[in-house]
A and B are shown apart, each in its own frame.
Chain A
Amino acid sequence: MTPRILQVRTKVLKKNDELARLMRDAFTAAGVLVVNLVSSPGTGKTRLLQRTLTLLRERGFACAAIVGDLETDNDARRLAESGVPVRQIETHGCCHLEADMVRRRLDGWELASLDFLFIENIGNLVCPASWDLGESLRVALLSVTEGEDKPLKYPGLFNTADVAVVTKLDLAEACEFQLDVARRHLDAVRPGMPVLETSAKTGMGISAWIEFLGKSRGELLTAVRSPDRLR
């Protein structure tokens, strides 16, 4: 018996990363913008998504959604009210979604007929950060009820996001939420990150959010036409 040392030098999440890369290529080729929504529980991911799906559908876009929860399909049922196809992932205790969980839910969906696919991640501000789901856009939500310093407490997650959406702004005054402070904290952990301010309840800021999604999909389609721009 000779003990030996083997150099491995492999990313531990290599399997997930490779699958996610293949999925992203497939999504991009099909022209579907995949949006991964991450936040702590109760930030309003489902409420924002309900409104988003309804509005995008009214504007003639084909959408679908995959929603992750530890238990229950409550969120999936809420989202299905918008009339778009929704699929549920019940993780039974697993605190994040992985690329393979998403891949298995895609079965039977014609990607090329979709414009947007939304993935509502498990409510958790730590774990989802490490798992690439093949998305083009990672959106971190921050509700005014959580306090302005969430980005400083969870820099790892906010740092991986492409855009931040502040939610429940209708409650800002009651919560004494200081938007400028939140913006400063977001910019500290992710310099230059776009920040959108919304209230899914009153509709405030929602059209800017919808516009942002449309613009992002436009950029994706441009990238398909000039493949060297793919990330």
Chain B
Amino acid sequence: MHELSVAHHLVEIAEETARRAGAVRVTALHLRIGALSCVQREALEFCFDLATQGTMLHGAKLHITEVPVEVYCSACDRILPLPSIQRFRCPRCGVPTGDIRRGRELELDRIEIEEGESPAAADSGANDGAEGVSVGEAATSTADTTELPS
């Protein structure tokens, strides 16, 4: 049940980000978990409720996007979805491949916050943990800004 540890880390990151932006409450979290992250969705949802009690995240919604595994096949020179994590073979040509390109994610993508009376602190930004840009996200992602009104 390491999902409880995961949930505590999640709370820590979200609170830190929210405080720096001058928020009073975190209302939702958007998380990406890969099929190889070894995190079980239901267990995490259960632990999330426990871990958020008495924090800025109390009552926050947890939105989870599951990320399937994709591998690179050198024979095909392509990145392809892996139909089963019990069989690391190229789905196209059958050659063994352990070159995982997606599916290990355990990432907090974004949070939704409510701001306090004085939003002055909000300008300091909250994007210190940028680790690559995800493509094809929901309409909330744009190329030129990291903070958006909802």
Contact = CB atoms under 8 A, between A and B. Distances in A.
B149 A12 contact: no
A1 interface: yes
Interface string B97-121: 1101000001111111111000100
B13 A12 contact: yes
Interface in A191-220: 191-192
B110 A6 contact: yes
A4 B146 contact: no
A97 to B, nearest CB: 10
Contacts of B87: 188-189
Interface string A93-134: 011101000000000000000000000000000110111000
Given A8-B14, A192-B96, A3 B114 contact: yes
B80 interface: no
A96 B2 contact: yes
A14 interface: yes
A10 B150 contact: no
Contacts of B114: 1-4
Interface in A12-40: 12-16
A7 interface: yes
Interface in B1-59: 1-2, 5-6, 9-10, 12-14, 17-18, 21, 23, 27, 31, 36-39
Given A12-B107, A159-B98, 18 more contacts: A2-B149, A3-B112, A4-B115, A5-B112, A5-B149, A7-B127, A7-B141, A8-B109, A9-B130, A9-B132, A10-B17, A12-B13, A13-B6, A13-B106, A15-B9, A15-B12, A188-B88, A189-B88
A231 to B, nearest CB: 15
B148 to A, nearest CB: 5
A166 interface: no
B95 to A, nearest CB: 9
A129 B119 CA distance: 41
B110 A5 contact: yes
Contacts, number: 151
A89 B143 CA distance: 46
A224 to B, nearest CB: 26
A187 interface: yes
A152 interface: yes
Contacts of A2: 114-115, 119, 149
16 contacts: A4-B21, A4-B148, A5-B113, A7-B127, A8-B127, A10-B13, A10-B108, A10-B131, A11-B107, A13-B9, A130-B2, A156-B36, A159-B85, A188-B88, A191-B88, A192-B98
Given A6-B113, A9-B134, A126 B38 contact: yes
A6 B18 contact: yes
A7 B13 CA distance: 12
A138 interface: no
A129 B140 contact: no
B129 A6 contact: no
B108 A9 contact: yes
B23 to A, nearest CB: 8
Contacts of A127: 1-2, 38
B38 to A, nearest CB: 4
